[in-house]
Homo-oligomer: A and B are copies of this chain.
Amino acid sequence: MATLKDVAKETGLTVSTVSRVLNNRGYISADARERVYEAMKRLNYQPNELARSLSKQTTNTIGVIVPHIDHPYFARLLSSLETAAYKSGYKLLLFNSGERDEKEDRYLEMCKGSRVAGIILCSGRVETQCFEGLGVPLVTVERFLESGTAAVECDNRQGGRLAAKHLLERGCRKVVYLGGENEENMPADDRALGFMEVCLREGLEFLDPGREKDAGLYASLDYHSYIEKILEAHPEIDGIFASSDVIAAQVIQICGKKGIRIPEQVKVVGFDDCGLASMTTPSITTIRQPVDEMAQLAVEMLIRANRNELVPSRTTLPVTLIRRETT
């Protein structure tokens, strides 16, 4: 079987250059890359990452835990994480926790067993104690964890403020925040905070529908009856800030059924700016999370923490209002 040295000999490059091509690290000219790949094919050289990883006791693999792969926000985040990981020469090992505690325990065991370079945890309901003594960096996205290495968030509070200001400018007089989280102390809670802050300051009347703490609601992603109940009890509402585009899409559906015209009678602002926001009719005005940049940062921090560099424990990125048809 051909070795790394054989490939170097064949190409006339040094072993370390060939190694950099294989690891997708550092600067490599297009010409060198091509020569290496051609030589690999000719010699049928197959780098054995398992052997390399075993000797290093770590891999260039990142374990990613998401609660719902098929939620449009997490699908987008996952896509951005994969792109960011690829750029840095890392691969993603994917775990869909689906809100099941039992499975999450197993996932962590699997991550540890696979000697991942670190774990990226995306939101969701995971028991905190699971993550103690992991031995690898744990980076969270839109979730804060006492035992986490680094948390990457968007500025949820600013998002809430932007939503309230926009509804105010569009002439709303009585607004409501529809949240769907079932977690304590989620960064997303700050969306409500920023929203109410502006309402109070500007004298915009707002309704507090209480929080739905039903885990089933969050897991099923079906908020129809929750939304319907609130709209029926408060027909005077003319502005809605939904804590996700998924909830905003369901607000559009309920309003459609009740003959409430959007944006004429009720204006709606969502959150996330996932693909869904531009696919509904009317399309959703929303607060855009800079998901590409958040994913890029999360991967970078994981890699740096893995090299024992000090990384910021909390990083917050700004959000922007994307105006569409619901306002």
Contacts and interface: CB of A to CB of B under 8 A. Distances in A.
Interface of A: 22, 24, 37, 46-51, 53-54, 59, 61, 64, 68-72, 75-76, 78-79, 82-83, 86, 91-96, 98, 103, 105-106, 110, 112-115, 221, 246, 249-250, 252-253, 256, 274-276, 279-283
A67 to B, nearest CB: 11
- Identify the interface centre among A106, A256, A280: most chain B CB within 10 Å of its CB: A280
Given A79-B70, A93-B61, A94-B82, A279 B256 contact: no
A123 to B, nearest CB: 16
B61 A70 contact: no
Contacts of A64: 94
B72 A246 contact: no
A114 B91 contact: yes
Given A70-B76, A75-B72, A46 B113 contact: yes
Contacts of A93: 61, 91-94
A82 to B, nearest CB: 4
26 contacts: A22-B113, A48-B113, A48-B115, A49-B114, A61-B114, A69-B76, A69-B82, A70-B75, A70-B274, A71-B75, A71-B275, A72-B276, A82-B96, A86-B96, A91-B94, A91-B114, A92-B93, A92-B94, A249-B279, A249-B280, A249-B281, A250-B279, A253-B283, A256-B281, A256-B282, A281-B281
A280 B72 CA distance: 13
A115 B189 CA distance: 43
A182 to B, nearest CB: 20
Contacts of A279: 246, 249-250, 253, 276, 280
Contacts of A37: 105
A185 to B, nearest CB: 27
